[in-house]
């Protein structure tokens, strides 16, 4: 088994938001767009992250963001449905309220 790590010098989005809040809308839109592209890619590979939050999104100095912490991610087989709830409880509740 190989574990490959990449250093992402900008830190997490939650750290950036605490340090520089409020973030300009244009920057937030750029981050959201990149996260959605990343999730689209994962979902096309039948991978579900299941713990998306600011602490699990890392930002490089160039403005690129990367999804991190796949500890509770899962790969679905074809036509499989998820019947469990995992992830950070407070974020899970927020998702349920806004979906």
Catalytic annotation, residues: 51
Contacts of 61 (CB under 8 A, 6+ apart): 9, 10
Q: Is-contact 96 47, C-beta < 8 A?
A: no
Q: Dig out the tokens for 34 from the structure.
A: 């990149």
């Amino acid at each position: 088994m190989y574990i490959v790590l990449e250093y992402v010098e900008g830190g997490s989005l939650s750290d950036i938001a605490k340090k520089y809040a409020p973030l300009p809308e244009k920057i937030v839109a750029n981050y959201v767009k990149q996260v959605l592209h990343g999730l689209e890619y994962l979902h096309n590979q039948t991978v579900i992250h299941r713990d998306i939050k600011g602490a699990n999104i890392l930002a490089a100095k160039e403005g690129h963001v990367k999804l991190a912490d796949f500890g509770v991610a899962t790969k679905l087989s074809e036509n499989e449905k998820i019947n469990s709830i995992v992830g950070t409880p407070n974020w899970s509740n927020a998702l349920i309220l806004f979906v």
